[in-house]
Structure 1
Amino acid sequence: MRIFTKLSAPLCLLFVFLCLKIAFSSSIHASSFPTTHLCSHEEALALLQFKTSFSINYTVYIPGLCDSKANYSKIESWKEGIDCCSWDGVSCDNVTGHVIALNLSCSSLYGTFPSNSTLFFLRNLQSLNLALNDFRFSKIPSEISQFTRLKHLDVYFSQFSGQVPGEIAHLPKLVSLNLSYNSLILETTTLRYLVHNLSEVRELVLSGVNLTSVNPRFFMNLSSSLTTLNLWESELRGNFPNSIFRFPNLKNFYLGGNRNLTIDLSSSNSSSPLQHLYLYDMDCGRRLPESIGNLKSLQYLRLGCNLEGSIPASIGNFTQLTSLDLTNNQFSGPIPASIGNLRQLTSLDLYSNHLSGQIPSSLANLTQLAFLDLSNNQFSGPIPASIVNLSYLDLSSNHFSDLVEADMFSVLQNLETIFLSDNNLSLRMNVNANFTLPMLTDVSFSSCNLSEFPNFIRHSNGLQSLVLSKNSIRGNIPEWICEKDDLEILDLSHNNLIGKIPNCLKFLSVLNLQANYFDGNIPFGFPEGCGLQNLNLHGNQIDGLLPRSLVHCRMLEVLDVGNNNISDTFPQWLESLLELQVLVLRSNKFHGSVQSTKESSSFPKLRVLDLSSNYFVGALPIRYIENFNGMKDPHKDGGSPKYMMVSTGANSYQYSLVVTWKGAERELQKILTVFSSIHLSNNKFEGEIPDVMGKLSSLKGLNLSHNNLIGHIPPSLRNLTNLEWLDLSSNELAGKIPDELVSLTQLSVLNLSNNHLVGRIPQGNQFNTFGNDSYEGNPGLCGIPLSKSCDGNGTQPSSFQEKDELWRFGWRVVVLGYGCGVVFGLLMGYLVFRTGKPKWFVSLFDGRRSQSGTKMRKARRIVQRRS
C-alpha cells in the first residue's frame, strides 16, 4: 500500500501526460484534416425549388450598383448533385452544414415572390440579401417571421410593394435592416413594434420607404446601440428631435430629401461620435450655427438646406473631415480662412451659393484635395494657386476676370476635369508651351476669350468631353480632333468656324456646332448603331438634303438644323426614332405636306416641334398631333426640376435650344424635361385647327400664326392649362373667341390679331391683362380693351354689318358718281359757258342738293344711334 502510494503520484503524472498528448495529437489531426459537413438534402432541395420560382432577366442588372457580371446570375451555379455549400451566394455553418447566409443581390431574379416560398424552410438562416432584383411589386411575406435567427435582412431596390409586415418585428436578433427604395409603406403601429422589439438593431435603412404617417419622435426609442439611421427621401413630416445627436453610438445619419421635415442643428453634441451627416432638401433652420463645429468626429458632411448667412468659422474644427459638401444653399460672404485647417479634406464642393470675395490663401494647405467645385458663385480676383493633387477643378460661372496663362495648369498632372466657363477670364495660350495633361477627360472653356484651340489638350488621348463654345475661334476644325477616339461630346458653338463639317464627327454622342459659318452638306453615312443623342447645327449655312442615314441613330433625342439653307421635304422617316424629343427645322427651305405614313407610334416622345418659316402646305399634321404623348402629361417628372442632359463619367452636359419664347427668339441654356412647344408659323398650312390640339396639356407655347387657317378657334384649347403663350395671328379664323379660354390662367402672351373674329372679347383672369394689340385687325370684335362697346346681347355683328354696308355703299356711290359726274359736269359746264345759268338748272340743282342733304343727315343719325 505504501509502495503503491509512493508510485501513484508519478503514475498519475504519466497518465495525465499521455492524455494531454493524445488530446493534442487529436487536435492537430482535426485541424489538419477537418470534417466536411455537406449541405443537407432538405435545404438543397428547398433552394432548388426556390430557384424555379423565378426567371432570369438580365435587363434587371443595374450598372454602377451591381458589381457582378452583367450577364450572370448566381443561381446559375445551383445544380443538383453538387454540395449546395459551394453554390454562389450560399454560405454554410462549418460545423453543422446548415445554410446560414444567402446573398442573391444582383442575380437578375424576375417574378413575384411567393408567400409559401421554400426559402422559409431554411430555419437557420442568419443573413438574407435579396437586393437589386425585380420581384414585380410583390408584398414582403409575413412568413418572414420564421427566420427567428436572422440578423441581417437586405431587400434594397428589389421592387417590393405594400405595407411593411409587422412580423418583421418578430425577428429579435435582427442587427441590420435595409428596406430602401422599394414601394413600401411603414405605418406608425409597425414602427412602434419595430423600435420596441428590435433591441439589437444597429443599422436601420428606410430610405425611399413611405413614412408619411410616422411621427419622427418614435425613432428616439431605437436602441442606444444604433450606429446607422438612413431616412433619406421617406416623406417624413414635422420636427425631427435634435436629441438624435446625443445617441452614444450613432455614426451615420442620413435625413435628406424630406421637404416637409425640420431639424434644429443648434444643439450639436460635442461628445457625438457622428462621422457621416447628410441633410439635404429639407429645413435645417435659417443659418448654420457655430455649434456645428462641436461635431469634431465628422468625416463626411453634406448640408443642402437653403441655408443663409456666412459659413461659420467653426468648420475649422472638422480636422477629421475628408468631404465637405455645402451645395445649393444661399451662403454669402467669403470662405472662412479656417478652412485651411481641414488638412484631411479630399473633396470640397460649394457649388451654387452666393459666396464672394477672393479664394483664401489657406486653401493651399489642403494638399490632399482632389475635388474642388466653386462654380455658380460670385468669387473674384485671381484664380487660386494650383493644388498639385487636383483631379477635378470647376470654377465656372463666377466673376474671375484676370488674364490666365494656360501654363499655370502644367503642374496638375493628375487633372481629369477642368471647367473655367462663363467668367470674364481671358485664357492665353503660350505658343512655346510644351506641356500635356495626360489624364484629362473633360474640358469646358466656354466664354474664355479664346482665339484658337488650346494646344495642351492635343495629346490628351483620353478626352471625352470638349466644350469651347462662345469664343472667337476661327478657321477649320483641326484634324487632331478626329484622332480623339474616346471623345463623346464636342461643343464648338458660337464661334467663327468655317468650312465643311468633318465626316469623323458622326461617331459622337453630342455634336453642337450652332452659330458658326459651316457650309455644304451634312456629312452622310451615319453608321448602324450610331450613338448620336444630340445634333445641333442651328444657325449655319448648311444646304442640301437632311441625310436619311440619321435613321441609324436610334438614341437621337435632339435634332436642331434651324436657320440654314436645307431644301428638302418633311423627314417622315424620322418617325422611327422613338427617343426623339426635340425637332427644329425652322427657317430653311423645307416644303410639301407634313403628314404621317403611320397610324400610331409616330414621334411618341416629341416635346418640341418647330417647323416655322418654311414652305409647308396642306392641313395641319393631325395624325402626328394625336401621337405626341410627350406633350400630354405635364406632371410626368414631378418633384424637383430635371433637365435634358447626357453624362460622361462623373460629369454631365446639359442640352441647350433656341426657341421663339413669347414672340422673341431666345436660347435656353437648359431644357426642362417637361418643357414642350409647337411652332408652325410662317408656312402655308390650310384648313381648321383640330380639336385634338387640346389634348396636349403640357404645352407651354403654341404658335400657328401667318398661315391660311380657317374656321373657329376650338374650345378644346381650354385644356392647355400650362399654356404661357398663344399666337394664332394672321390667319383666316372666324367666329367668336371661346369663353373657355379664360381658364388658361398661365397665359401671359396672346395674339389673335389679323383674323375675322367677331363678338365680345372674353373677360376674366389673364384676359384682363391683354392690350389692343392682341386683337387688332379684327373689326368685328368689341368690348374691353377695345374702344368699341358691345350691344345688350354681347355682340356687335348687326351694327357692324350696317356700318360696313354703308361704308361699302358710300364708296360705290363715290366711285360711280365720280365717273358719271365727270361727264355730266363737262356737259353742264359747256351749257353754262355757252348760255349762262338757266333757271331750270338752278331749280334742279338746288332741289337735288336739298334732297341729298336730307338723306345723308338721316343716314348719319341712324349710324350714330346704333353705334
Structure 2
Amino acid sequence: MLLGSTTVNGKGWCELKNLKQLDLAGNNLGGSLPDCLGNLSSLQLLDVSGNQFTGNIASSSLTNLVSLEFLSLSNNLFEVPISMKPFMNHSSLKFFSSENNKLVTEPAAFDNLIPKFQLVFFSLSKTTEALNVENPDFLYNQYDLRVLDLSHNNITGLFPSWLLKNNTRLEELYLSKNSFVGTLQLLDHLYPNMIELDISNNNMIGQIPKDICLIFQNIEDLSMGKNRFTGYIPSCLGNISSLEILDLSNNQLSTVKLEQLTTIWFLKLSNNNLGGKIPISTFNSSNLVFLYLGGNNFWGQLLDLTLYEQKMWIVLDLSNNHFSGMLPRWFVNSTVLRSIDLSKNNFKGPIPRDFCKLDNLEYLDFSENNLSGYIPSCFSPSSLVHVHLSKNRLSGPLTYGFYNSSSLVTMDLRDNSFNGFIPNWIGKLSSLSVLVLRANHFDGELPVQLCLLEQLSILDVSQNQLSGPLP
C-alpha cells in the first residue's frame, strides 16, 4: 500500500490485517502514530519517513509489529530510545533508519538488553543535539551489519574497533561529526567488502595505520579529515585500485608520499603541515579533477606541469601556500573548470589572456599575491559568481573585464591600483550583492547605474579619488 503523495484520513486502513507493506513517506502527516497501527500484524515494511510525526517510540504501537523487516522513521519529530528497547523482540528486523529525529537516553537497566534481531542496515544519524552519549549498547550484539551510520551525533569515547571486529562484512561505516578520541586502532583482519569509511570531524590522534591499505584493500571513499592525525600519509593509499575519494584535510600531517593515484578523482589534503615542492606524481591520475592542497607549506613554481594541460579540472585549490613565479596556464584548457583558488601565495606578473578560455568558471580567487598589469578585457565568464582579486598590484581601468559576468554575486578588487571611472556596465550585474573597490585609484563620479543593483548589500568604495554628488 503506497501513500507517498497523499494524506490519510480516518483509521479504516488500520483494519487491513493482511497488509505487508505500508509506505507513508514524504507527506505532511503529523501527530502521534495511531494506536490501531499495532493491528497490522502481518506488516513487514513500514516507511513513515519525511513527515512530522511526534511521540516517544517506546510507547507507540510500533512495539507490537514484531513481523517488521524494514522500518524507516527518518526525518520526523520522534523520540527514539538509544537502547532500541521497543524492538528487542522484533526478530525479523533487518533495516532500521531513524535519521533526523531526537535520541533519548534511558535508565542503565536497559543497557544490557540483548536483541533478537540482527540488523543489516542501521542509521541513527543527526539525532542528538547537546546530548553526550556513548555508542548504543545493543550494537555490541550485532554481527551482520553491512551499513552503519552514526554520523552527526555527539558520541564520545574511543574509536569503536569492536564494531569492525564483530561485523566483518561491513560495507559502509559513517562515524563523522562525533567526539571519538584516541588513535585509530585497526584489527588484524581484512575487510574486503568495505567501500566507504568516514571518520571525519572527530578528535582522533596519532598516525594513520600503515596497514590501512591492506585492511581496506577495496575501499572507494576514505574520509578522515578534521581530526588530529600526525605523521606521514601512507604511500600505499595511492596504489589502492578502487580508491576514488580521499579526504585527509584539516589534520597535522607532515609528509606526503602518495604515488600513482591512478583512480582517485577527489583528493583533499588541505590544511595540514605538508611541505616541499608539490609532488608531480599528484597530477599523474588521469581521473583527478578535484584537488585541494590549500593551507600547507608547498613551494616552488608550477610552470613545469605542461604535460597536464589537457586535463579536465573541475576544482583546483592551491591557496595559502608558498608558490611563486608566474601564474600557471596548464589548466586553461579545462573547459569544465568551476573553481580555482590560488590566493595567499607569491605569484607575480599579469593575468594571462589564456584565462579567457575558462567559460564555465564560477569561483575565482587570486587575492593576496603580487599580480600586476591589467585584467584582460576578454575575461568575462558568464557563469562567474564570486571573484576575489584583492591585495595585489593590478592596475589600469576595468574596461570590459567582467562585462558579461551577469551571475556575479561578489566582486572584491580592493587594495590594488585600478584607475579610471567605475564603469557604467556595472549596473548590468543584477545579482551583485558585494562590491568592494576600496583602496584603489578610481576617479570621477559614482555611476548612477549602481542604483540598479537591487541585490547589493555591501558597497565599499572608500580610499579612492571619487568626486561629485551621490547618485
TM-score bracket for the superposition, by shorter chain length = 0.7 to 0.9
Paired residues of 1:465 and 1:487 also in contact (CA < 8 A): yes
Match 1:493 to one of 390, 397, 404: 390
Greater fraction helix: 1
Partner SS state of residue 331, structure 1? strand
Paired residues of 2:406 and 2:429 also in contact (CA < 8 A): no
- CA deviation vs aligned residue, 1:612-641 (integer Å, no higher than 9, x gap): xxxxxxxxxxxxxxxxxxxxxxxxxxxxxx
Partners of 1:441 and 1:158 lie apart in 2 by 36
Aligned to 2:102: 210
**Residues 215, 563 of structure 1: alpha-carbon distance in 2 compared, 3 angstrom cutoff:** farther
Paired residues of 1:421 and 1:444 also in contact (CA < 8 A): yes
Partners of 1:120 and 1:409 lie apart in 2 by 67
Partners of 2:331 and 2:2 lie apart in 1 by 58
Match 1:151 to one of 44, 47, 72: 44
Higher normalized contact order (CA 8 Å, seq sep 6+, divided by chain length): 2
Paired residues of 2:245 and 2:266 also in contact (CA < 8 A): yes
Partners of 1:292 and 1:467 lie apart in 2 by 45
Greater Cα radius of gyration, structure 1 or 2: 1
Partners of 1:121 and 1:485 lie apart in 2 by 59
Report percent identity of matched pairs.
25
**Residues 507, 128 of structure 1: alpha-carbon distance in 2 compared, 3 angstrom cutoff:** same
**Residues 179, 569 of structure 1: alpha-carbon distance in 2 compared, 3 angstrom cutoff:** farther
Match 2:410 to one of 488, 504, 510: 510
RMSD across aligned positions (CA): 3.4
Aligned to 1:276: 172
Report how far residue 101 of structure 1 moved: 3.3
Match 1:169 to one of 63, 69, 80: 63
Aligned to 2:454: 553
Paired residues of 2:438 and 2:460 also in contact (CA < 8 A): yes
Partner SS state of residue 193, structure 2? coil
Report how far residue 485 of structure 1 moved: 1.9
Report how far residue 146 of structure 1 moved: 4.4
Consecutive unaligned residues in structure 2, runs of 5 or more:
none
**Residues 168, 280 of structure 1: alpha-carbon distance in 2 compared, 3 angstrom cutoff:** same
Aligned to 2:205: 308
Listed as ranges, the matches of 1:287-298 within 5 Å are 287-291=183-187, 294-298=190-194
**Residues 550, 182 of structure 1: alpha-carbon distance in 2 compared, 3 angstrom cutoff:** farther
Partners of 2:426 and 2:40 lie apart in 1 by 57
- CA deviation vs aligned residue, 1:283-328 (integer Å, no higher than 9, x gap): 3231111428654432111112211111111211211100100010
Partner SS state of residue 193, structure 1? helix
- CA deviation vs aligned residue, 1:377-413 (integer Å, no higher than 9, x gap): 1111222211221010111110111222263462562
Listed as ranges, the matches of 1:168-207 within 5 Å are 168-187=62-81, 191-196=84-89, 198-207=90-99
Report how far residue 271 of structure 1 moved: 5.9
The alignment status of 1:323 with 2:323, answered yes or no, reads: no
Partners of 1:244 and 1:252 lie apart in 2 by 12
Partners of 2:265 and 2:438 lie apart in 1 by 38
Match 2:316 to one of 415, 418, 430: 418
Match 2:441 to one of 515, 538, 541: 541
Listed as ranges, the matches of 1:757-776 within 5 Å are none
Partners of 1:115 and 1:551 lie apart in 2 by 51
Partners of 1:139 and 1:452 lie apart in 2 by 65
Partners of 1:470 and 1:376 lie apart in 2 by 18
Paired residues of 1:389 and 1:412 also in contact (CA < 8 A): no
Match 2:276 to one of 367, 378, 381: 381
Match 1:252 to one of 147, 155, 161: 147
**Residues 538, 129 of structure 1: alpha-carbon distance in 2 compared, 3 angstrom cutoff:** farther
Partner SS state of residue 395, structure 2? strand
Report how far residue 422 of structure 1 moved: 0.9
Partners of 1:161 and 1:243 lie apart in 2 by 24
Partners of 1:213 and 1:328 lie apart in 2 by 28
Consecutive unaligned residues in structure 1, runs of 5 or more:
1-99, 572-867
Report how far residue 557 of structure 1 moved: 4.9
Partners of 1:568 and 1:134 lie apart in 2 by 57
- CA deviation vs aligned residue, 1:214-250 (integer Å, no higher than 9, x gap): 4697597444431111111222644326783663320
Aligned to 1:262: 157
**Residues 487, 292 of structure 1: alpha-carbon distance in 2 compared, 3 angstrom cutoff:** farther
Report how far residue 570 of structure 1 moved: 8.9
**Residues 532, 183 of structure 1: alpha-carbon distance in 2 compared, 3 angstrom cutoff:** farther
Partners of 2:453 and 2:189 lie apart in 1 by 57
Report how far residue 272 of structure 1 moved: 1.4
Partners of 1:417 and 1:289 lie apart in 2 by 33
Match 2:240 to one of 338, 342, 346: 342
Partners of 2:378 and 2:427 lie apart in 1 by 22
The alignment status of 1:460 with 2:358, answered yes or no, reads: yes
- CA deviation vs aligned residue, 1:796-837 (integer Å, no higher than 9, x gap): xxxxxxxxxxxxxxxxxxxxxxxxxxxxxxxxxxxxxxxxxx
Report how far residue 375 of structure 1 moved: 0.4
Partner SS state of residue 280, structure 1? coil
* Equivalent AA in structure 1 for residue 236 of structure 2: S
Paired residues of 1:438 and 1:461 also in contact (CA < 8 A): yes
Paired residues of 2:63 and 2:86 also in contact (CA < 8 A): yes
- CA deviation vs aligned residue, 1:78-137 (integer Å, no higher than 9, x gap): xxxxxxxxxxxxxxxxxxxxxx33433xxxx7xxx66736665766544344444444x5
Paired residues of 2:114 and 2:141 also in contact (CA < 8 A): no
Report the count of equivalent residues. Answer: 456
Aligned to 2:288: 390
Listed as ranges, the matches of 1:671-710 within 5 Å are none
Partner SS state of residue 425, structure 1? strand
Normalising to structure 2: TM-score of the pair?
0.84
Match 1:404 to one of 282, 302, 317: 302
The alignment status of 1:299 with 2:195, answered yes or no, reads: yes
Partners of 2:427 and 2:41 lie apart in 1 by 59
Partner SS state of residue 296, structure 2? coil
**Residues 334, 264 of structure 1: alpha-carbon distance in 2 compared, 3 angstrom cutoff:** closer
Greater fraction strand: 2
Partners of 1:125 and 1:115 lie apart in 2 by 18
Paired residues of 2:213 and 2:236 also in contact (CA < 8 A): yes
**Residues 550, 367 of structure 1: alpha-carbon distance in 2 compared, 3 angstrom cutoff:** farther
- CA deviation vs aligned residue, 1:576-618 (integer Å, no higher than 9, x gap): xxxxxxxxxxxxxxxxxxxxxxxxxxxxxxxxxxxxxxxxxxx
* Equivalent AA in structure 1 for residue 359 of structure 2: N
Partners of 1:243 and 1:291 lie apart in 2 by 21
Partners of 2:118 and 2:102 lie apart in 1 by 25
The alignment status of 1:439 with 2:340, answered yes or no, reads: no
**Residues 516, 144 of structure 1: alpha-carbon distance in 2 compared, 3 angstrom cutoff:** farther
Partner SS state of residue 211, structure 1? strand
- Which has the larger displacement, 207-216 or 301-310? 207-216
Paired residues of 2:268 and 2:291 also in contact (CA < 8 A): yes
The alignment status of 1:530 with 2:422, answered yes or no, reads: no
The alignment status of 1:240 with 2:131, answered yes or no, reads: no
